[in-house]
């Protein structure tokens, strides 16, 4: 029974990944450091090889590290390979790997949609809180296996304690209404063109962009508040 359920889970992940519109996600959200992600994911899955380096000389360690890096790129040569059973990584560790491989500052993402979205979410919280944006696109287990394109975390600014966590799935499939994430954002291919504020984009629709960000902000803020309540047993 377990084997059948696992296979179905992986096949569903493959199908979902193939139809989500990866380019759309990367344009709006940015992506992780793919090379670094592969190396860390490989190291996680092959911890016994890492342990074997402890008693080696510096030269042997260096040679082994180079081989591991090459093996990591080959093992995850395409995104769908992450969904193979022997390469699967659970949700918690997938989140950890994504956080470790961000490009840039999670408090100030460089993609226009991510930046505008995080700014509006910040405006909903008092200054004593810190919010961070983490993209999972670019070929990660969190995206391929767990259906999460990005997540946002709320922290206590004074002590750095994590207070709440919300996961988000963004899709160009207008008919999609179910997701593994806390929040589902629907942006069609046509809408993705209209909300791109590039200088040469004659189709740019500022009102549509603001509406998408405002709607997404409301959903994400509610998800963060709900998670905070659950953590603190607040009804």
For the chain, counts of helices (H) and of strands (E): 10, 4
Q: Is 131 helix (H, G, I), strand (E, B) or coil?
A: strand
Q: Is 159 helix (H, G, I), strand (E, B) or coil?
A: coil
Give the pLDDT band of residue 14 (cuts 50, 70, 90): very low
Q: DSSP letter for 147, please.
A: -
pTM: 0.86
Cβ-proximal residues to 16 (8 Å cutoff; 6+ apart), any chain: 147
Cα separations in angstroms, 6 against 11, 45, 190, 209, 216: 9, 18, 35, 39, 32
Measured torsion, CA atoms of residues 21, 22, 23, 27, in degrees rounded to the nearest 10: 110
Q: Do residues 23 and 79 touch, judged by C-beta distance below 8 A?
A: no
Dump pLDDT digits (tens) for 140-176: 999 999 999 999 999 999 999 999 999 999 998 888 8
228, 25, 220: which is closest to 121 by C-alpha? 220
Q: What is the mean pLDDT of residues 127-138?
A: 96
Q: How far apart are CA 142 and CA 33, in angstroms?
A: 14
Query: What pLDDT is recorded for position 196?
Result: 87
Q: Do residues 139 and 82 touch, judged by C-beta distance below 8 A?
A: yes
Query: What pLDDT is recorded for position 153?
Result: 98
Q: What is the mean pLDDT of residues 31-45?
A: 92
Query: What pLDDT is recorded for position 52?
Result: 61
Query: What pLDDT is recorded for position 233?
Result: 92
Q: Do residues 228 and 129 touch, judged by C-beta distance below 8 A?
A: no
Query: What pLDDT is recorded for position 17?
Result: 44
Query: What pLDDT is recorded for position 138?
Result: 92
Helix (H) or strand (E) holding 184: strand 183-186
Q: How far apart are CA 130 and CA 201, in angstroms?
A: 33
Q: Do residues 50 and 67 touch, judged by C-beta distance below 8 A?
A: no
pLDDT at residue 10 is higher than 60 = no
Helix (H) or strand (E) holding 23: helix 22-29
Furthest-apart CA atoms within the chain: distance in Å: 62
Q: What is the mean pLDDT of residues 117-136?
A: 96
Q: Is 52 helix (H, G, I), strand (E, B) or coil?
A: coil
Dump pLDDT digits (tens) for 76-87: 887 778 888 888
Give the pLDDT band of residue 114 (cuts 50, 70, 90): very high
Q: Is 162 helix (H, G, I), strand (E, B) or coil?
A: strand
Dump pLDDT digits (tens) for 51-69: 666 677 777 767 777 877 8
Q: How far apart are CA 180 and CA 169, in angstroms?
A: 8
Q: Is 50 helix (H, G, I), strand (E, B) or coil?
A: helix
More confident residue, 229 or 78: 229
């Amino acid at each position: 029974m377990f084997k059948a359920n696992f296979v179905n889970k992986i096949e569903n992940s493959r199908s979902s990944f193939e139809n989500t519109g990866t380019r759309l996600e990367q344009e709006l959200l940015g992506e992780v450091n793919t090379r670094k992600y592969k190396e860390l994911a490989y190291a996680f899955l092959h911890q016994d090889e890492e342990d074997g380096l402890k008693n080696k000389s510096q030269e042997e360690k260096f040679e082994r590290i180079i081989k591991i890096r090459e093996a990591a790129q080959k093992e995850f040569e395409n995104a769908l390979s992450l969904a193979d059973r022997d390469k699967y990584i659970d949700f918690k560790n997938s989140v950890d790997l994504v956080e470790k491989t961000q490009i840039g500052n999670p408090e100030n993402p460089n993609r226009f949609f991510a930046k505008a979205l995080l700014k509006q979410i910040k405006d909903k919280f008092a200054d004593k809180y810190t919010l961070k944006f983490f993209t999972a696109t670019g070929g990660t287990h969190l995206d391929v296996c767990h259906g999460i394109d990005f997540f946002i975390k709320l922290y206590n600014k004074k002590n750095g304690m994590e207070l709440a966590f919300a996961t988000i799935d963004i899709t160009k499939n207008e008919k999609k209404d179910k997701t593994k994430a806390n929040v589902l954002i629907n942006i069609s291919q046509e809408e993705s063109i209209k909300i791109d504020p590039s200088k040469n984009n004659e189709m740019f629709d500022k009102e549509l962009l603001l509406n998408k960000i405002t709607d997404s902000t409301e959903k994400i803020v509610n998800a963060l508040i709900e998670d905070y309540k659950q953590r603190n047993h607040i009804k």
